[in-house]
């Protein structure tokens, strides 16, 4: 008799506030045989907060190819695995896509467990149109590639959503002003944390307002589409 294959649960985890995890996610984390995670230290903090003890398998982008066979073998052996990233939803500008694709190709059951999302949180409170939005993740690392990307979006009517390290926001705003002209921009940073902040205004105005601030971490940057 053929062994029953395990299930891969793709679990969204808090983007800051540890209370932003669903009861379903906690139940599944308690029930699975192992947790594949981006950073074991970050995931351990979450699991410890809810008194959950599990085998952790490090699964981060440079070594995804090395760890996927191990996780797939466990699934084929009937083990249930939870896939989490440091925050938010695995596979969405985070590790996970490769494993999920391979699990699907192998005929495994892949189950999403939705939850906190920086994109959804930022859109919900930004004050920009939400009926149509285009999520673009992290812009290319090189300045010229980012400039070309922004130029290609000049006629896009959807609200544009980017992830950015805060150290690159000033440069991004300069390129944005150059490529797209005057647009309303919202910088959402430290979402769900104590110092949560929404900074709203035109790109040029925001440049002067954040010029002397030493922002840390990552931010979600939303840009008004063409009117």
Query: Percent of the chain at pLDDT above 90?
Result: 86
**pLDDT tens profile 94-103:** 889 999 999 9
pLDDT above 70 covers a percentage of the chain that reads 98
What's the pLDDT score for residue 210?
A: 82
Q: How confident is the model at residue 2 (pLDDT cuts 50, 70, 90)?
A: low
The answer to whether residues 135 and 119 touch, using CB atoms and an 8 Å cutoff, is yes
Look up the CATH superfamily of 7-113: Tetrapyrrole methylase, N-terminal domain (3.40.1010.10)
Q: Where in the chain are the domains?
A: 7-113, 118-223
Confidence at residue 63, expressed as pLDDT on a 0 to 100 scale: 75
Range name among 13-27, 29-43, 85-99, 145-159 with the lowest pLDDT average = 85-99
Average pLDDT, rounded, for the chain = 94
Domain topology for 118-223 = 3.30.950
The 8 Å CB, 24+ separation contacts for 144-149 are 146/172, 146/175, 147/175, 147/178, 147/179
Report, as an integer, the average pLDDT of 114-124. 96
Token readout for 175 is 């390129």
Residues, the chain: 227
How confident is the model at residue 1, as a pLDDT?
A: 46
**Residue 46 reports pLDDT greater than 50:** yes
Better pLDDT: 61 or 81: 81
184-189/197-202 β-pairing: antiparallel
Q: Does residue 152 register a pLDDT over 70? A: yes
Residue 212, pLDDT score = 65
Query: Which residue, chain included where needed, has tokens 């970050």?
Result: 42
Closest CA to 68 of 91, 98, 38, 89: 98
């Amino acid at each position: 008799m053929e062994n029953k294959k395990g299930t891969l649960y793709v679990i969204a985890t808090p983007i800051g506030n540890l209370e932003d995890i669903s009861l379903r996610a906690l139940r599944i984390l308690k029930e699975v045989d192992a947790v594949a995670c981006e950073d074991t230290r970050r995931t351990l903090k979450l699991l410890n907060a809810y008194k959950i003890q599990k085998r952790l398998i490090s699964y981060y982008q440079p070594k995804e190819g090395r760890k996927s066979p191990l996780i797939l073998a466990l699934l084929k052996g009937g083990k249930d695995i939870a896939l989490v990233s440091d925050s938010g939803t695995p596979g969405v500008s985070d590790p996970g896509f490769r494993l999920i694709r391979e699990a699907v190709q192998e005929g495994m059951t892949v189950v999403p467990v939705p939850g906190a999302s920086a994109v959804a949180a930022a859109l919900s409170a930004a004050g920009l149109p939400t009926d149509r939005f285009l999520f673009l993740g992290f812009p290319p690392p090189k300045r010229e590639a980012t400039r070309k990307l922004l130029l290609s979006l000049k006629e896009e009517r959807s609200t544009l959503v980017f992830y950015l390290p805060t150290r690159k926001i000033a440069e991004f705003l300069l390129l944005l002003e150059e490529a797209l002209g005057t647009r309303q921009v919202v910088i959402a940073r430290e979402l769900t944390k104590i110092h949560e902040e929404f900074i709203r205004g035109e790109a040029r105005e925001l440049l002067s307002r954040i010029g002397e601030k030493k922002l840390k971490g990552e931010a979600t940057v939303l840009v008004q589409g063409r009117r």
